[in-house]
Amino acid sequence: MLNVEVYPSVTLGPQSVGDRCNREGEAPRLFTPTCDMMLVPPPVHTEPAAKLHKGEEVKMELENSALWKQFSSQGTEMIITKKGRRMFPGLRLKLSGLNPSFRYILLLDVVPVDNSRYRFQGGGWQAVGAAEARLPDRAFIHPDSPATGAHWQSRTISFHYAKLTNNMLDTQGHIILHSLHRYQPRIHVVEARDMLRWGGGQHTFVFPETQFITVTAYQNNKITELKINSNPFAKGFREDGMNSKRQRDARQKRKVVNLKETLDNVNCDSAEFLAQPASPSADLQALGLASLPPPPEPSCVFKADEASFQDVLTQEQSLDLGQSFIASEMSDISVAMNHGMQERQHEEEADRMIERSEAMTDQSYNSFPFPSALLPPQTSSSFSSLHAPDSSDTSDPQNSLSYPPLLSSGPNHPNTPALQQTSFTFPTPPLTDSSSSSSPQPLLSSSSTPSSTNYHIMAGAVSPQTPASFAAPPASCQSNLQICNDSQPHQLYLGEAVFHAGNLSGDQTSSAFTYANAPATNPDPPSAVTQPLIHQPPSLPYSHNPVSSCSYASVPPQTLPYPSLSPSPTLHLPNLTHQSNSHASTFPPCSFTSTLPHPSFQAASRLVRSSSFQPPACAAGAYLKACPGPLPLLLLLSSRCPPSPSSFDVSPRSGAAPPSLPVLPHASSDPLPRLPIIPAASGPSLIPEYPLPASVPVNPAETAPPDCNPREPPENV
């Protein structure tokens, strides 16, 4: 029996069946109802995270950054469907700076960028109103989690298994989003030092170029073209594909001709038709069901096959610019290119793609109507200095055109020497609001411990690649922004930039910049004046969104001890089999000190409840009791905290004691919504439909090995 314990702010849900567990040669494991999962409060942090990462700097690179930027330049759109849709491009990441022997959990969540609803008008996206009520924050835990730092650093990390849905009643564990809203994916690296406990340091990475607007149908034709040309699954829609517009038109034409011929056939055989019962097919077609196969070889029947063949023969060998980005996704695509002939052909194509890609990206970004005032003093070349060089990634023409880090800081380092703004420019609008940085709300945990949580705004600044069509935030944002101006936030995270990336100029490989956990004082967005909103994409909720950031500013970082956790909080992450070394599972409890920022909309009001707000318990400290394989589970994250932390039932690793966490129904409109349990994807009968009443008992006996769906394409090739 699948068991899902939901901590109010951390709802664990099974990932969709599509969320395969295995990776890279591992036996496929499918998340099944037999996998027990539960979330438990975060462990008590006993060792300062700062020690754990002393001298280290966790870095993350977006491997397919060029592709993302290409989309971003047009205004990335992501289809969301009721059943869930994968993201394309996917998040392909490279991690470094981790302790090879420590275990980490990687999470992906998607947070609204602003509080606006968008509409595609006049060839661009315009904010047209207030956003829908905030949905429960679901986080997608990478199936490999927890894995050692060596594991994460040895391969490309892909989150393409994550699916987006607009079904608020989704039971598959997909990430629920509103359509026509703007979102920003975030990747969280949470240290799970002994694979049984979450704790230690936490890092949040944000790649501004991965912002997207959710849609149920593509609005921007350019995005459609890019998707078709970049996504192998959409090959059929390419110019030379059988599902291209030309081919579809041809099919449509054939259908019409077919129908006409059929009708003619009926006419010419009318005598016979009238004389004897018509065949079923002729009968159907005569009724207009032209889609049915034509009658076999009637003398005057149009031969559709011939026409079709002709159409195929006339297909052109088009190589759209967008196809160039296949190169950046080559690892995904190359799987099918195993044969020499194909491979050579592909390589040749890839080379041409790269060439065109370079030309295109240059054009795209160089010509991007990014306000010069927003651009940092550095030129593209200077940006590259901040980017980790990757000579091997020849498919990524953007590597040479890296973007400077937006922010850089460490949590709770208000006294960190401020970085001169002149030497550290903020090319993107998100930077305009630093309040979020000042007091980022915890996503997984709220107790902010110095250096426990780092926020990284990745080098790819939003603005340069964000299309001007991305409407500026509503006037309300501006007002909020102004409100935030009364502080000097940038100095804070800028200073942190120096603190954590003080050798930026010298460390060319640094791609991660810690995000300061600013104090209550709201920093002053430096870019507020220099960056016209009209050309700036909405700010990130936690780090840039004026509204949220301002609200956060009123709430100083809190270090709330996790309430009476059960003896030995256990993180059941059976996925350890594929990991080499095992660590003692009896690590002393450690307090979770990460301070993930929280999206704007729910910030202020909730945080005010500081007395009962216990961030760590809410999310980061979630304990997982999952199937014995890569962790295919999904979290619901929220700032909501359980009414009674003591109610946590931390079951031992053996899984003997089913946890009994309070399950709270969630209403997005509720200022303090409670998150529903996300039933298991494969075990609908096991998990009640949303909303769920209370905790679901765990049946330890039904912890069969996970059976990952083999249908998932290889993630890392």
Contact set with DNA (CB under 7 A): 17-18, 28, 79, 81-82, 85-86, 88, 119-120, 166-167, 179-180, 215-218, 224, 227-228, 231-237, 241-243, 245, 247-248, 251, 291, 332-333, 335-336, 709-714
Q: How far is the CB of 88 from DNA (least distance, A)?
A: 4
Q: For residues 226 and 498, which CB has a smaller minimum distance to DNA in the complex?
A: 226
3-state secondary structure of 31: coil
3-state secondary structure of 438: helix
Q: For residues 17 and 135, which CB has a smaller minimum distance to DNA in the complex?
A: 17
Total count of residues recorded for the chain: 717
Q: Identify the CA nearest to 192 among candidates 663, 680, 654, 592.
A: 592
Q: How far is the CB of 716 from DNA (least distance, A)?
A: 10
Query: In the chain, how many H helices and how many E strands?
Result: 19, 17
Q: How far is the CB of 329 from DNA (least distance, A)?
A: 9
Q: Tokens for 287?
A: 């009724």
Whether residue 406 contacts residue 501, with contact meaning beta carbons closer than 8 Å, is answered with no
Q: For residues 256 and 300, which CB has a smaller minimum distance to DNA in the complex?
A: 256
Q: For residues 262 and 399, which CB has a smaller minimum distance to DNA in the complex?
A: 262
Q: CA-CA distances (angstroms) from residue 161 to 31, 141, 316?
A: 12, 10, 33
**Helix axis angle, 221-230 to 65-74, nearest 10°:** 160
Q: For residues 597 and 683, which CB has a smaller minimum distance to DNA in the complex?
A: 683
DSSP result, 69-106: HHHHHH--EEE-BSS-EE-SS--EEEEES--TTSEEEE
Q: How far is the CB of 135 from DNA (least distance, A)?
A: 13
Which residues of 192-224 form beta strands (DSSP E)? Answer: 202-206, 212-215
Q: How far is the CB of 334 from DNA (least distance, A)?
A: 8
Q: For residues 294 and 427, which CB has a smaller minimum distance to DNA in the complex?
A: 294
Q: How far is the CB of 367 from DNA (least distance, A)?
A: 24
Q: What is the dihedral of CA 240, 91, 12, 84, to 10 degrees?
A: -20
Q: How far is the CB of 243 from DNA (least distance, A)?
A: 4
Strands of 157-158's sheet, edge to edge? Answer: 59-62, 92-96, 157-158
Which one-letter amino acid corresponds to residue 448?
S
Q: How far is the CB of 251 from DNA (least distance, A)?
A: 6
Q: For residues 131 and 547, which CB has a smaller minimum distance to DNA in the complex?
A: 131
* Distance of alpha carbon 330 from alpha carbon 344, whole angstroms: 14
Q: For residues 230 and 378, which CB has a smaller minimum distance to DNA in the complex?
A: 230
Q: For residues 216 and 270, which CB has a smaller minimum distance to DNA in the complex?
A: 216
Q: Identify the CA nearest to 645 among candidates 450, 509, 497, 447.
A: 447
* Distance of alpha carbon 117 from alpha carbon 128, whole angstroms: 6
Q: How far is the CB of 167 from DNA (least distance, A)?
A: 6
Whether residue 573 contacts residue 39, with contact meaning beta carbons closer than 8 Å, is answered with no
* Distance of alpha carbon 596 from alpha carbon 175, whole angstroms: 18
Q: For residues 124 and 561, which CB has a smaller minimum distance to DNA in the complex?
A: 124
Q: How far is the CB of 247 from DNA (least distance, A)?
A: 7
Say which DSSP state 214 is in: E
Using CA of residue 104, residue 109, residue 115, residue 121, what is the dihedral sign?
A: positive
* Distance of alpha carbon 621 from alpha carbon 43, whole angstroms: 6
Residue 436: CB atoms within 10 A of its CB come to: 39
Q: How far is the CB of 601 from DNA (least distance, A)?
A: 18
Q: For residues 74 and 595, which CB has a smaller minimum distance to DNA in the complex?
A: 74
Q: For residues 203 and 227, which CB has a smaller minimum distance to DNA in the complex?
A: 227
Instruction: Report the DSSP pairing between strands 633-637 and 137-141.
Output: antiparallel
* Distance of alpha carbon 218 from alpha carbon 284, whole angstroms: 35
Q: For residues 253 and 711, which CB has a smaller minimum distance to DNA in the complex?
A: 711
10 backbone dihedrals φ, ψ, rounded to 5°? -130, 95
Q: How far is the CB of 74 from DNA (least distance, A)?
A: 13
3-state secondary structure of 629: coil
* Distance of alpha carbon 684 from alpha carbon 701, whole angstroms: 18
Q: How far is the CB of 535 from DNA (least distance, A)?
A: 23
3-state secondary structure 359-424: HHHHHHHHCCCCCCCCCCCCCHHHHHHHCCCCCCCCCCHHHHHCCCCCCCCCECCCCCCCCCHHHC
**Helix axis angle, 245-268 to 304-313, nearest 10°:** 160
